Amino acid sequence: MAKLSSLLYIVFFVLCVITHYSSNTVTVYNVISFGAKANGIGDSTPAFINAWAAASCASTGSTAIKVPKGRYVLGSSAFKGDCKSFDITFQIEGTLVAPADYGVLGKAKIWLSFEGVSHVTIVGGALDAKGQSLWACKLAASKNCPSGATTLSFTDSNNIRIKGLLSQNSQMFHIVLKIIAAGDSPNTDGIHVQLSSNVAITKSRIRTGDDCISIGPGTKDLWIERVECGPGHGISIGMKKAVFTGTQNGFRIKSWARPSNGFVQRVRFLGAVMNNVQNPILIIKIIAPTTSTALLRNEDSHFSSVTFQKWKTVERKLLEKVSGIKISDVIYRGIRGTSATQTAIKFYCSSKKTCTGIRLENVNLTCLDQVAQSSCTNAIGRTLGSIQPNGCL
């Protein structure tokens, strides 16, 4: 789902706080002092930019940018590092809102961009990207809709902490803590990570219209734990102690039908609960924007009732258009709950590059009023412990 480049696409619109006084060793800047308007009408973008400059470059010690209660309209903004302060905290008590015209942000690609920053902490507050009108434009299949903006992006940054932030109505990607967008809002991935290493996503609740968490190229050492996902399309990569409710997918690994020397390996899905999930466990290696998805969708949508015979038909029709990604060493352990479709486990890999090292351990997935099944093609692996439905590896 993710095509925008940036280290971490976050939809928590974390913005500044500004006042000018000192408390112990922390210098605090209040955005009001820089001309920010809390009435939800005037443009507060210059005030936030100036507050950031003061907190990051004019101070050498720890600083805090304070956003008092109220609604602050902000346009696309870039906050850059390489200044003096080594520790900046955003204390957000109000709500940061996007301009009423979705085109203002939609053409900018990123609402709030942090570039080359270090030791930045974001605490509290809410971000409202007001994406509903853009979603409506996309759902109406209009050709004049902009792509939309990611709410928050960190690039070339390290030691970032986010706590207690609510992000809602994102135009595109948005991330962490509490993430809310309508279940049919297009391309609103909750959290997207790419070109990143040593990333941890924990204790988050994500409700959105696309992937709860999606992973792009160049991602290493990603840890996801205690995430609640739903509605949404599921999670694209390994994690621990997740809960999925009413989602299209649970644990899904997918790759597009195009040549590649890339790989997905050493993925772990540990200790998850599935509540009425259409595809609790899914690997799908032939995904094309038109042909394969059209063939694989049915009334349940998104590969919910794919059979082995249908899969072989797809392979024949796509001929050479199979994914070149190599998938190996994937473990599913301690996963339980209910599937909304009869086939709870689906491993559909290409004949040219099989999936290897797939392992199911103590998996218990049932389906109401039907006997749950599993389906595999070109997948090699083994099962350990109690497995329901019976493994097809």
Predicted local confidence at residue 20, as pLDDT: 40
Summarised one tens digit per residue, pLDDT across range 285-320 is 654 444 334 434 332 334 444 444 554 454 445 434
Provide the pairing of β-strand 279-287 with 126-128.
unpaired
Q: What is the pLDDT of residue 87?
A: 85
Q: Which residues of the chain have pLDDT under 70?
A: 1-24, 83-85, 156, 158, 173-189, 194-198, 234, 236-239, 256-259, 285-323
Q: Residue 19 has what pLDDT? A: 36
**pLDDT confidence of residue 57:** 78
Tell me the residue type at 136. A
- Which pLDDT belongs to residue 2? 37
Per-residue tokens: 356: 């290897």
Percent helix, strand, coil in the chain, to 5, is 10, 45, 40
Which structure tokens are listed for 66?
């304070």
Q: Which pLDDT value is given to residue 34?
A: 97
Q: What is the pLDDT of residue 302?
A: 40
User: What are phi and psi for residue 380, nearest 5 degrees?
Assistant: -120, 130
| H-only helix segments in the chain | 45-57, 102-106, 132-139, 291-296, 308-318
What was the pLDDT predicted at 186? 54
Q: Tell me the pLDDT tens digit for each residue of 149-158.
A: 888 877 767 6
**Residue 207: per-residue pLDDT:** 77
Q: Given this model, what pLDDT does residue 8 score?
A: 31
Which residue, 205, 351, 327, 346, is CA-closest to 265?
327
DSSP, residue by residue, 13-66? --------EEETTEEEEEGGGGT--TEEEEE-HHHHHHHHHHHHHS-SSEEEEE
**Could you write out the DSSP letters of every residue in 195-219?**
S-EEEEEEEEEEE-SS-SEEE-TT-
Q: Tell me the catalytic residues.
A: 210, 233
